[in-house]
Structure 1
């Protein structure tokens, strides 16, 4: 996948106070130092009521996803994040889960299976214009998707074969989403 940015998001049920530097600002504004690399791993906490899940750690690598994940997990250990990772969603660049044509792929992890509150995720810029299908995991069966202009939203079943196989008018036009049970 030359030239494609791969991202593995790890979502954990973490308190904002676990952020090591300027916790109130980082949790409120979702600020993480920018890092460049083809492969990235991002750790986010559970979404506070009505807010975006805070980004707590980010690591990138031009070498491999394994290297990015190892660095992110090393940072995760410093902030006492949950030990387990549960795959809560899979993002695909193309419709029908990339089955007809290859494309970008991201696995999103949570520190626990989905519940009714779920995880609220800002979609990074590379994915905003490319995300075309979503599949849920670990009890995440619904995604509330908002477009980039934030003037349209819809709920999608993200079970295999559900509406998440093609996002329709939201295909290549996703600003943020809430995945939940």
Structure 2
């Protein structure tokens, strides 16, 4: 019960604070495994601002891989692993309280190597442009389709932790990087 209350509080904090993150499906959040890998100061900075850019994470340990899911680890998120099917359309929701124009994409990333599997599923050449009076609706609500057979997903994304659906955004003017990861497996 305490863990679910903490996760609920983190999810709420992530949706109302600064720059941006994925709110649905549920994205990885920091926890004790991230503390062990990244240090308490790094985790505390992320907990203070659930949408903190990677560049603003405080004092990460050398063992912290901020450029994979902003350092959040599967071990802290086993209860939110999603099951997707080949060819399934996945609806995503992003919170963007403070936009920063720049490129963004959604990709399937192999967690062991932090490399994109195949091609990005969705690419924005210009995303979250703060000069616009209102952001386009597809900046906060969009969908991707899990590739069909023959694209490596079926073989590569079998166990939790093999792959993540990663939202990656780089605000060029602000020089800030944002990431959210949704853990998933492919239905067998």
Normalising by the residue count of structure 2, what TM-score does the alignment of the two structures yield? 0.32
Q: Higher helix fraction: Structure 1 or Structure 2?
A: 2
Q: TM-score, normalised by structure 1?
A: 0.33
